[in-house]
Amino acid sequence: MLKNIPSILSPELLKVLSEMGHSDRICIGDGNFPGASMAKAEGAIFLRADGHGVPEILDAILQVFPLDAYVETPAMLMEKMERDKDLEIPVWDEYKAIIAKHDARGANAVGNYERFEFYEQAKKCYCILQTGETAIYANIILQKGVI
């Protein structure tokens, strides 16, 4: 056990977060995200966080992980498809509130990728973390900054 480290962060995840350097990215996928196949595509590290939702994981990661101050939007969401344009995605508001706790830019640190561009960017991430999140469009990519 370690002091001041959120217990939701597994030893494997802590190791990966520590290994990541400035501008490396981690994709946190919801339960429907094709994380294993995305990780295989470019050789990303694939980890699981079954039983946990993205908001809890996001908050824990941001307690130890600085967002990149050298890019406008170091936190990227997957845009809704046209057929889903009327769907409400309340988890996005949770993400913005969590990010605001850890980054002075708040919601301004959050951007969007078109769905298929999100997949392409996820393949290029250092790590893909698959969660048990049940909300749709709950995927997020974080770009690491410096301390």
Active-site residue, 95 included: no
* Active-site annotation holder among 22, 70, 84, 93: 22
* Active-site annotation holder among 68, 103, 113, 126: 68
Active-site residue, 126 included: no
**Cα dihedral sign for 90, 92, 93, 97?**
positive
* Active-site annotation holder among 59, 95, 113, 119: 119
The DSSP H or E segment spanning 96 is helix 90-102
8 Å CB contact between 95 and 58: yes
**Cα dihedral sign for 21, 78, 105, 64?**
negative
Active-site residue, 52 included: no
User: Catalytic site residues?
Assistant: 22, 68, 119
